[in-house]
């Protein structure tokens, strides 16, 4: 698809509209997740929880989220991506509000896992829709803009909790209400904007009905590069969610930082991810290759992860978080998304992205609880960061084996 096909009579191209609304979609997803980090001390005190139990709040959330990634991608491919995506956004916004109302740890966890389940409706259908609509020569940049919503969401979520609870003295339940309502509104806007197929891609050609192509196991796991992308994203996401889940708690309990300073420092990572994501994605599109970019970003993210527990001064810690923001998971993801898009059959895009995100998000299931468990056993959270660094090393090795042809280079120059 070219720009002229979607830019009718000077109107905003459809793919640009999708990029904008999906950007807000990721703000919704990550904002609702991020509110928990600054509240962990409050939640732990109210329900009398260990660190491992605190970590389980996010782990149980991501069990629900991860379990729905593949089914939602498959359902979206067959029944319509828009239906699945919009339903998920509206319902996870509603359950975010309900979670804030729950009086016990058990009922809170039930509502919270429902938020995770309905967030699981998002990834596969969203990237299926955006990959169909965004021109191929702009797919990585478009994905980077969409992904930058994660950075805004993390920062917004951190600040909502720190300001409402830490500065204004509200109940720890208030952030769930504050963010839940805008999420529902975003879902309704998606209902208005999204089309299941871009105008330039009719359902049938020459009047003939389009036959559905059978999805096979080989479509999802028969490609070397896609399998390596699965491994790399798992390792990257594990380290990312060690930071996302535990960084506010770590700053407060082991570095003595309080109030909005926690949100300010924790937000450095997502804010610097925005230029990092755009720059590295532009470079990847410009050279038409993914592997060289990954082999710059992943080793630097390893250095950043190691620097967090090893730093003895606040400037070094801040520098490590900035570096991780520039080269970490948020910036790495659009490049890996491009690897999947480059190597997946078109009829299996939604499911392929669902599998990719499902495998990757297994890292988010293990990271919160395992980091809490290691902290309980060792008496320090440093061990959790070191374990994350080991997994990043595995991701680097996986990226070394990605094979790229000259086709991508030729398309980039076209």
pLDDT digits (tens, 9 = 90+) for 356-411: 878 888 898 899 999 999 998 998 889 999 999 999 999 999 999 998 875 444 44
Counted residue by residue, the chain has a size of 414
Beta-ladder partners of 208 = 205
pLDDT in tens, 298-324: 999 999 999 999 988 899 999 999 999
The answer to whether residue 3 scores a pLDDT higher than 50 is no
Q: Note the pTM of the prediction, 2 decimals.
A: 0.77
Q: DSSP secondary structure string, 252-298?
A: HHTS---THHHHHHHTHHHHHHHHHHHHHHHHHHHHT-SHHHHHHHH
pLDDT of residue 253: 85
Number of other residues whose CB lies within 10 A of the CB of residue 154: 29
pLDDT in tens, 20-34: 999 999 999 999 999
* 9 burial level (CB within 10 Å; 0-12, 13-18, 19+): exposed
Domain boundaries, the chain: 3-199+218-413
412 vs 339, residue with greater confidence: 339
Q: Measured between alpha carbons, how far is 367 from 371 in angstroms, rounded to an integer?
A: 6
Task: Give the pLDDT mean for 54-60.
Answer: 90
CATH value of 3-199+218-413 in 1.20.1090.10, 2.60.40.10, 1.20.1250.20, 3.20.20.70: 1.20.1250.20
Q: Measured between alpha carbons, how far is 214 from 388 in angstroms, rounded to an integer?
A: 38
Q: Measured between alpha carbons, how far is 251 from 244 in angstroms, rounded to an integer?
A: 12
pLDDT of residue 259: 76
């Amino acid at each position: 698809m070219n720009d002229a096909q979607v830019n009718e009579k000077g109107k905003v191209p459809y793919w640009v509209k999708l990029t904008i609304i999906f950007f807000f979609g990721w703000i919704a997803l990550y904002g609702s997740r991020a509110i928990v980090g600054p509240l962990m001390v409050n939640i732990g005190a109210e329900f009398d929880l260990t660190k491992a139990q605190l970590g389980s709040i996010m782990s149980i959330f991501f069990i629900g989220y991860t379990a729905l990634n593949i089914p939602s991608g498959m359902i979206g491919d067959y029944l319509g991506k828009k239906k699945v995506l919009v339903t998920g956004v509206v319902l996870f916004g509603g359950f975010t509000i309900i979670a804030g109302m729950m009086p016990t740890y058990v009922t809170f966890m039930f509502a919270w896992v429902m938020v995770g389940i309905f967030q699981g409706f998002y990834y596969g259908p969203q990237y299926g829709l955006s990959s169909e609509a965004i021109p191929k020569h702009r797919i990585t940049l478009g994905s980077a803009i969409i992904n930058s919503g994660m950075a805004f969401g993390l920062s917004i979520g951190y600040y909502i909790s720190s300001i409402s609870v830490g500065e204004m003295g509200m109940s720890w339940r208030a952030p769930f209400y504050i963010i839940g309502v805008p999420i529902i509104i975003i879902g309704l806007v998606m209902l208005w904007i999204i089309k299941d197929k871009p105008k330039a891609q009719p359902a049938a050609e020459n009047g003939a009905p389009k036959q559905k192509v059978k999805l096979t196991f080989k479509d999802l796991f028969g490609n070397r590069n896609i399998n390596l992308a699965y491994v790399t994203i798992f390792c990257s996401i594990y380290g990312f969610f060690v930071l996302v889940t535990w960084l506010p708690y770590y700053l407060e309990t082991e570095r003595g930082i309080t109030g909005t300073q926690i949100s300010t420092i924790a937000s450095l990572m997502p804010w610097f991810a925005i230029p990092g994501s755009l720059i590295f994605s532009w470079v990847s599109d410009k050279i038409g290759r993914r592997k060289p970019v990954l082999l710059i970003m992943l080793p630097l993210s390893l250095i950043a992860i190691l620097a967090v527990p090893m730093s003895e001064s606040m400037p070094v810690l801040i520098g490590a978080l900035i570096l991780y923001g520039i080269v970490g998971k948020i910036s790495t993801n659009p490049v890996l998304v491009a690897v999947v898009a480059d190597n997946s059959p078109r009829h299996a895009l939604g499911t392929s992205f669902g599998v990719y995100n499902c495998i990757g998000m297994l890292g988010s299931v293990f990271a919160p609880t395992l980091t809490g468990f290691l902290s309980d056993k060792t008496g320090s959270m440093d061990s959790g960061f070191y374990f994350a660094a080991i997994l990043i090393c595995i991701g680097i090795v996986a990226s070394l084996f990605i094979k790229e042809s000259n086709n991508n280079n030729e398309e980039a120059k076209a």
